[in-house]
């Protein structure tokens, strides 16, 4: 992180300089900058790459192969005041799908 030597506020990269958000002080970049992303605006994708053993299962029909059992888990993808998203993964063909409430 780079902080302004004048007012101690965080500086943000703009082109080849760093600019203070508060007072406008500028200084030349030195080395690599770290860009912060707003986590609330980022969309996360859940990917299970390993075999899904040990996860809870439920009776759910796979839209691809018609198998009647799937692993399931919950993720909070939207704001905290909205319902979680339920993910399913077929125990047979490994197709993953989601369900919104």
Second CATH level (architecture) for the domain 1-36? Single Sheet (2.20)
- Residue 33: what are its φ and ψ, rounded to 5°? -100, 150
Asked about 82 being catalytic, the answer comes back as yes
Query: Active-site residue among 16, 32, 49, 81?
Result: 81
CATH topology of domain 57-99: N-terminal domain of TfIIb (2.20.25)
pTM for the model stands at 0.46
CATH 2.20.25.10 domain position(s) in the chain: 57-99
Query: Active-site residue among 6, 26, 64, 82?
Result: 82
Burial class (CB in 10 A: 0-12, 13-18, 19+), 85: middle
Asked about 51 being catalytic, the answer comes back as no
Q: Which tens digits make up the pLDDT trace of 13-23?
A: 888 888 888 89
CATH 2.20.70 domain position(s) in the chain: 1-36
The b-or-e profile of 35-73 (16+ CB within 10 A means b, else e) is: eeeeeeeeeeeeeeeeebeeeeeeebebeeeeeeebbee
Q: Which tens digits make up the pLDDT trace of 48-81?
A: 444 545 788 999 999 999 999 999 888 887 777 8
- From the DSSP assignment, how many helices (H) and strands (E) are in the chain? 0, 7
């Amino acid at each position: 992180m780079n902080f302004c030597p004048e007012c101690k506020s965080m500086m943000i990269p703009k082109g080849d300089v760093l600019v203070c958000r508060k007072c406008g002080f500028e200084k030349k970049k030195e080395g690599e900058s770290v860009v912060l992303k707003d986590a609330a605006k980022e969309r996360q994708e859940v990917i299970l790459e390993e075999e899904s053993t040990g996860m809870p299962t439920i009776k759910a029909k796979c839209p691809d192969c018609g198998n009647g059992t799937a692993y399931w888990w919950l993720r909070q993808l939207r704001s905290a005041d909205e319902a979680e998203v339920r993910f399913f993964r077929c125990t047979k063909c490994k197709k993953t799908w989601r369900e919104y409430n």
